[in-house]
Structures are given as C-alpha cells and as structure tokens.
C-alpha cells in the first residue's frame, strides 16, 4: 500500500508542477515529486497510522499523585487541510491522574499522533484531550496549543500572528484555577 501512496503522491506533485506550467525536468524540480512524497508520508500523514490507545499503552501503576501532571513545550507541526500549508508550534498537555501515571514521552507522542495529519489545530487539541480521557482514565485532561500558521502568515503578511487553542475535560474543565497555569 505504501508504494501505491508514494506513486499517487508523486503523480499529484507532477500534476501540480505541470498545472503551474513549469518544466518538471528543470534541475531545480528534478526529483521534487519523490522528495515531496517522502516528506508528506513521514511528516504530514504518518499520524494516521498511529493508534492513541497503543501510544498511551500501559499505565505506570502505583500511587498516583492527586494533582496535575503537566508537560510543556511539546513541539508539533501539522498541515492545514484548507490550504495545504504547514503550521507549527508547541503544546502543553496536562492530566489529573486516575489509576496510574503516563511516561512523559507518551504525551509528546500523542501530540504527534494527532498533528501529523491533515487537520485543524483546534481538532488536534481536542483529540489529545479526548484520548487521555478515553484511554488513561484521567480524572481530567487539558491541552493548550500555540501555533504559527503559514496560511495566515503568507497570504495576508501577518508576520507575528499566532493561534492559541485549548481544550479541557473532566475535573480540569471544572477547576478553572488549574487551567490558568496551562497558559503560562
């Protein structure tokens, strides 16, 4: 199947180059379809093959803290489904543990799972929180993402524009004082 995807992506890039009335054999464009296909498969579409339940895996058992666990500055990048332009930024993910704890790296992997797709930043933010609630049994979960979107920066020349999205569930939705700390 990967070969089919690769061939289809390369064909689509060739068609785009042709539609722009450019010479696909020019030295600057030679090999571009293969490079674009490889990049898209490894960086913008590989989140679809990731399973959040598998990423979150087994919890670390034992006495879980009763208060908030926060991991900040998780880098992410995604692709805007409306303009096919990238966005990138950082996420803060938090949860109130239920029956166990997660390894910190799993939270970063979860963010990648939902941002390495053709998706909106808002949707990825919600999906991270929903996965924590569904697969970890967290008492509450939250995610704040701050991103720079090329679909805003390039066409409109809004050079310093950033987008902040947030999502909260469970006790974290109810405990507003805990939410405030995620925006710091």
**Residues 31-68: tens digit of each pLDDT:** 999 999 999 999 999 999 999 999 998 888 766 667 89
**pLDDT score for 17:** 93
pTM beyond 0.85: yes
DSSP annotation of 67: S
Regions in the chain scoring below 50 on pLDDT: none
Tokens found for residue 101: 């704890």
Rg of the chain on CA atoms, in Å: 19
Helix/strand/coil (H/E/C) assignment for every residue in 91-160: EEEEEECCCCECCHHHHHHHHHHHHCCECCHHHHHHHHHHHHHHHHCCCEEEEEEEEEEHHHHHHHCCCC
Is residue 146 within 8 A of residue 157, CB to CB? The reply is no
**pLDDT score for 1:** 52
**pLDDT score for 64:** 62
Cα 53 to the chain's mean position, in Å? Answer: 16
**pLDDT score for 155:** 72
């Amino acid at each position: 199947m990967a070969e089919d995807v690769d061939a289809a992506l390369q064909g689509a890039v060739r068609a785009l180059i042709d539609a722009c009335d450019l010479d696909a054999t020019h030295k600057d464009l030679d090999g571009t379809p293969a490079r674009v296909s490889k990049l898209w498969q490894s960086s913008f579409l590989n989140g679809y093959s990731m399973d959040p339940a598998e990423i979150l895996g087994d919890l670390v058992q034992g006495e879980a803290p009763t208060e908030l666990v926060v991991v900040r500055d998780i880098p992410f990048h995604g692709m805007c489904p409306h303009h096919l332009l990238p966005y990138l930024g950082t996420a803060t993910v938090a949860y109130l543990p239920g029956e166990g704890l997660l390894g910190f790296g799993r939270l970063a992997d979860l963010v990648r799972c939902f941002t390495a797709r053709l998706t909106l930043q808002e949707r990825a933010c919600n999906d991270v929180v929903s996965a924590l609630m569904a697969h970890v049994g967290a008492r509450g979960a939250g995610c704040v993402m701050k991103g720079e979107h090329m679909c805003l920066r390039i066409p409109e020349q809004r050079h310093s524009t950033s987008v902040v999205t947030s999502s909260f569930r469970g006790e974290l939705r109810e405990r507003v004082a805990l939410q405030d700390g995620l925006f710091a």
